[in-house]
Structure 1
Amino acid sequence: MRMFKHYLVALMAAWALGVSLVAHANLPDFTSLVESASPAVVNISTRQNLPTRRGGTMSMPDLEGLPPGIREFFERSIPQMPQGPDSRQREAQSLGSGFIISADGYVLTNNHVVADADEIIVRLSDRSDHTAKLIGADPRTDVALLKIDAKDLPIVKLGNSEKLKVGEWVLAIGSPFGFDHSVTAGIVSAKGRSLPNENYVPFIQTDVAINPGNSGGPLFNLSGEVVGINSQIFTRSGGFMGLSFAIPIDVAMNVANQLRTEGKVTRGWLGVVIQEVDKDLAESFGLEKPAGALIAQVLENGPAAKSGLKVGDVILSVNGQQIIQSADLPHLIGNLKPDSAAEMNIVREGARKTVSVKVGDMPDDDSIAASGQPGAERSSNRMGIAVAELTDDQKKSLQLQSGIVIKQVTDGPAAMIGLRPGDVITHLNNQPVVSARQFQDTVKKLPADKSISMRVMRDGRASFITFRLPK
């Protein structure tokens, strides 16, 4: 019996060892990748001259005439402030990462690593420092291109971020907290992520540990090819929490090539405000499933307006590429050249059609702002709101041909969906609102317990909302 127990223990140990060896055999070995790729990864530091904080140039008070013991105490206790012309400046330093993309010294990094720098220092893997020239930067994609005066430098291999798959192993090399050439690994968690205020980058999401100092560093696939630039993390603590985001290398190189040849970046622009199509909006617009980008606003004299796109159109595809989420549209349009034509499949008033749109050149500031004041009051009790006609001045300031403004909100469906006085209603149940009377008539005919869409403008921004009227 004892011999059997020893045999069983030995068998279990052998099984555990076998499982461990199999698991180890399935894990990737990054050593060769790191050895070949590390020499092309650089550390980036910057210096910026900043005005001294208020009170920073305060001089020592006049201590003459005080007893020696008291004067000595004040001299020890009061900090000595620098004087002279240099006392009005102080230095700021930042640390980031980057990687060499050409043997003659072009370096790619994040814009936020070098923004507002008076001096940029690139440290190579051989510990030599080089002052870099900023060739150009694009804040919209957070990409910057640098140039150092050097030759025969090691370079990275560039991959294709479009071929990257969710679940694939990836590796980052950078300088977190100033620790040069630190290596971390993980997998691709998702692709095509859109982040707030980052409309033109379909980010690669990973669980690779990224910390301050990794910004601008390369993200490699197992073939040793750069597939992204590590850009930012999602965190509530200030440290890594398992959510890292990288700029696809295809996007970054498109920007870098434009910066190198043109000195600036141009991208396609439609001149529309869009929103997500949820389940209720899909039902109200006659779509089989939530998909596409709903046009909530068309900017006057913009490319979309000139090409005949209308408020309420749902864009389903651009040049054959499907719009699954509304955030896909800016990515696709931004990659098109200004003045090029884009074939769009749209849904308008429940019918599918194809339109050709001439893409414009994105302006530096395409934001709009408008406001309106209420006019003469009319009421509509079924919705629980009192409305008024728009004045000519309001229409002009809001760039509208028609619409009504909410004067008062009482208990009812309007209050439940968050409408408030000052909101402007331009469309109801997929139809333009041309007057307060027509609005009232439309409300009376709305079906009960069915998803209904309404286009509302607030503070110059338009969006579609949905609601259901009780039976």
Structure 2
Amino acid sequence: MRSTSILSLVPAALLCSVLIAGTAFSRELPDFTLLVSENGPAVVNISTKQSLSGSQKPRSLEIPELPEDSPLQDFFRHFFGEEGEIPEDLFQSRSLGSGFIVSPDGDVITNAHVVESGDEIIVRTSDRREFVATLVGTDKRSDIALLKVDAEDLPVARIGSSKDLQVGEWVLAIGSPFGFESSATAGIVSAKGRSLPTENYVPFIQTDVAINPGNSGGPLFNLSGEVIGVNSQIYSRTGGFMGLSFAIPIDVAMDVVNQIKTKGKVSRGWLGVLIQDVTRELAETFGMKQPRGALVAQVLPNSPAAAADLRPGDVILSFNGRDVPTSSALPPLVGAATVGETATVQVLRRGEQIELSLRIDELPEDESQSGSPTEPDEEPANRIGLVVRDLTAEQRQQIGIEQGAVLVESVDAGPAETAGLRAGDLILMFNNQSVADLSGFNALLEAVEPGRPVAVLIQRGDSRMFYAIQIPAP
């Protein structure tokens, strides 16, 4: 009887535990109503007008000959008149976005792409007031713009910090998707520190909050009602939301805004290196247990990196004491560094960790390098499938390389083709050693033991990159 009574209590106990757990879970689900009501007034709708130039617009339209009873006759007469003149207001381009107020006297933050090329910027508040805004400044690299409207006692969004943001944390966006003002959408933080192809200096916050055209420039709130991001981009194959949206961290945005207000422009730190990820194959060639860090593929001349003796083949492991797990983690760290300060860089060089000190310079507007190789005649391929030649004096002058390197004339089927090398590439380093000329390259190739990968630094056009080539067994 005793065992039977205990067993009879088990289903009831399980039911109670399920009900309690369900109640606790439901209590943890956020209620956004207070957050929206308190912060919605600080979110604004932004529209711009841009008049097209005379060369972009026709002055009249040739009306086709139509039967008198055709319904299209009325259409053309209504919009274009008897002479086919096109109304002037058809030549005003309009864009729509969102923003948020950060000071009672009218400072407004939005995206740079929302207001670029606008002849007139209109800021509309949630209580239907409209202001013509002045563009204080923009920063295209971070996609942040600061506007100013002539007003007082405006509602202000509370600025938080994105540093303590956690993946999985609830967040809420308010904006004007497709022009629908004061729309709120919620989701969670999907990832932090995302690097996008269009911008390397912003560690984006990735969320699954529904963001659509018109949300750009609007705020992303945490559950405390603080702005922790500026909604900027979506990843989409259709043009609409597909579950991936990206926000600029508010710490980055506010630093940009403060620089615009105080200096009139935005300065970022600069090392003067071109970097790439360390793949598993490259990690093996460098003697690393696992891939990590930012691999230096090129050191630009007259740069802080060149002055500090940073070299191609160095793997940057940390910057100013902060780990660099991947190459995408380095640019935001360097960009946030103060111009003129001294930074320490921990690098792995030929299996040994060393520390370098360098002075941070300001990121120039144009970091590009010029020059491209030309192709001479053909000869038999070597053991990795390459036909390589020395560079002529004319080619060196054209490319801007005074000494070293060999030119890949053609690539046959083999390890080099599998690794990704192409005709026209310049081989600068092989197996972590500089390539002086063709005979030096051949000597380095012959010295490599068969069956193991080697790192090869190539220059392709304006960029440099390491590849891992598996040396074939005999």
Cα deviation, residue 174, structure 1: 0.9
Instruction: Provide closer, same or farther for how the CA distance between residues 73 and 243 of structure 1 changes in structure 2, counting only shifts above 3 A.
Output: closer
Distance 2:119 2:286 in 1: 53
Partner residue in 2 for 1:335 = 336
Give the direction of change, closer, same or farther, for the CA distance of 1:269–1:21 in structure 2 (3 Å limit).
Answer: same
Q: AA paired with 2:329?
A: D
**Divergent runs of 4+, >6 A:** 8-17, 52-55, 71-74, 82-86
The answer to whether the 8 A contact 1:398-1:460 is kept is no
Task: Output the CA distance in 1 between the equivalents of 2:468 and 2:348.
Answer: 18
Q: Quick one: structure 1 residues 73 and 17, their matched pair in 2 at CA, closer, same or farther if it must change by over 3 Å?
A: closer
Match of 1:347 in 2: 348
AA paired with 1:81? F
Q: How does 1:55-454 map to 2 (within 5 A)?
A: 56-59=58-61, 76=74, 78=76, 81=80, 87=88, 90-375=91-376, 381-400=382-401, 401-454=403-456
Q: Kindly provide the CA deviation profile for residues 173-216 of structure 1, in whole angstroms up to 9, marking residues without a partner as x.
A: 11111221111111111100001121010000111111111111
2:440 is paired with a residue whose SS is helix
Q: Describe the SS at the equivalent of 2:91.
A: strand
Q: Is the 8 A contact 2:429 2:457 kept in 1?
A: yes
User: How far off is 1:85 after superposition?
Assistant: 10
Partner in structure 1 of residue 468 of structure 2: 466
**Percent of aligned pairs with the same residue?**
49
Further displaced range: 318-327 or 89-98 = 89-98
| Aligned partners of 2:106 and 2:151 also within 8 Å | yes
Distance 1:62 1:215, change over 3 A: closer
**Which residue identity does 2:470 align to in structure 1?**
R
Mark the CA change 1:239 to 1:70 in structure 2 (over 3 Å): closer, same or farther. closer
Q: Structure 2: which 5+ runs fail to align?
A: 1-9
CA distance in 2, matches of 1:124, 1:190: 31
1:51 Cα deviation after fit:
3.6
TM-score normalised by length of structure 1:
0.91
Distance 1:452 1:222, change over 3 A: same
Q: Which amino acid aligns with 2:447?
A: K
**More displaced 10-residue stretch of structure 1: 395-404 or 444-453:** 395-404
SS at match of 2:80: coil
Letter aligned with residue 448 of structure 1: P
Shift in Å, 1:54: 6.5
2:24 to 22, 33, 38: 22
Shift of 1:167: 1.0
Q: How far apart are residue 394 of structure 1 and its match?
A: 2.5
- Secondary structure of 1:309's match? coil
2:48 is matched with 46
Within 2, Cα distance between the matches of 1:14 and 1:339? 64
- Read off the aligned partner of 1:459 and give its amino acid letter: G
Residue type at the aligned position of 1:45: S
Cα deviation digits, residues 153-175 of structure 1 (max 9, x gap): 11111111011111111111111
Q: Secondary structure at the match of 1:32?
A: helix
Q: Which range is displaced more, 81-90 or 400-409?
A: 81-90
* Deviation for aligned residue 1:407: 1.6
Cα distance between partner residues in 2 of 1:53 and 1:275: 44
- Give the drift of 1:276: 0.4
Distance 1:42 1:418, change over 3 A: same
More deviation, 352-361/131-140: 352-361
Letter of the 2:368 counterpart: S
Q: Are the equivalent residues in 2 in contact too, given 1:296–1:464 (CA < 8 A)? A: yes
Shift of the 301–379 alpha-carbon distance from structure 1 to 2, 3 Å rule, reads farther
The one-letter amino acid of 2:189's match is V
Code of the residue aligned with 2:313 in structure 1: it is: G
C-alpha displacement at 1:358, in angstroms? 1.3
Runs of 5+ consecutive residues of structure 1 not aligned to the other structure: 1-7
- Residue 11 of structure 1, CA deviation: 10
User: Equivalent residue of 1:45, what SS?
Assistant: strand
Q: Distance in 2 between matches of 1:9 and 1:452?
A: 64
Distance in 1 between residues matched to 2:153 and 2:72, nearest whole Å? 59
Residue-by-residue CA offset, 1:260-315 (whole Å, 9 max, x unaligned):
11111110111111100111111111222211111111112222112211111111
Name the SS for the 1:235 alignment partner: coil
Asked if the contact 1:52–1:87 (Cα under 8 Å) also holds between the matched residues in 2, the reply is no
Question: 3-state SS of the aligned residue for 2:275?
Answer: strand
* Residues 24-71 of structure 1, C-alpha deviations (whole Å, 9 max, x = no match): 2121122222121111111111111124786732255799xx9xx869
Whether the aligned pair in 1 keeps the contact of 2:59 and 2:86 (CA below 8 Å) is no
Equivalent residue letter for 1:122 = V
Give the letter for the 1:259 counterpart.
Answer: I
Number of aligned residue pairs: 461
Give the Cα–Cα distance (whole angstroms) in 2 for the partners of residues 205 and 98 of structure 1. 19
* Aligned 8 A contact 1:314 1:347 in 2: yes
- Measure the CA separation in 1 of the matches of 2:426 and 2:11: 77
Secondary structure of the equivalent of 1:254? Answer: helix
1:162 partner SS:
coil
> How big is each residue's C-alpha offset from its partner over 1:306-334, in whole Å with a ceiling of 9 and x where there is no partner?
22111111111111001011011110111
Name the structure 2 match of 1:5. none
The offset of 1:92, in angstroms, is 1.5
SS in 1 for 2:136: strand
Residue by residue, what CA displacement relative to the aligned partner does 1:207-236 show, whole Å, maximum 9, x if unpaired? Answer: 111111111111111111110001111111
Q: Give CA-to-partner distance per residue, 1:355-387, whole Å, 9 cap, x none.
A: 111111111121223111235766552122221
Going from structure 1 to structure 2, the CA distance change for 1:55 and 1:77 (only over 3 Å counts) comes to: farther
Distance 1:359 1:394, change over 3 A: farther
In structure 1, what is the Cα distance between the partners aligned to 2:239 and 2:72? 40
Contact kept in structure 1, 2:347 and 2:354, CA below 8 Å = yes
C-alpha spacing 1:358/1:12, structure 2 compared with 1 (3 Å): closer
RMSD, matched Cα = 2.7
Whether the 8 Å CA contact 2:432–2:456 is kept in 1: the answer is yes
Pairwise CA distance, 1:78: 4.8
Give the Cα–Cα distance (whole angstroms) in 1 for the partners of residues 119 and 212 of structure 2.
24
Q: Hey, what's the Cα distance between the residues in 2 that align with 1:295 and 1:289?
A: 17
Evaluate the alpha carbon distance shift between residue 76 and residue 128 of structure 1 in structure 2; reply closer, same or farther with a 3 A threshold: closer
Checking the alignment, whether the CA contact within 8 Å between 1:269 and 1:361 is kept in structure 2 is: yes
Whole-angstrom CA distance in 2 between matches of 1:11 and 1:281: 57
Aligned residue for 2:163, secondary structure, equals helix
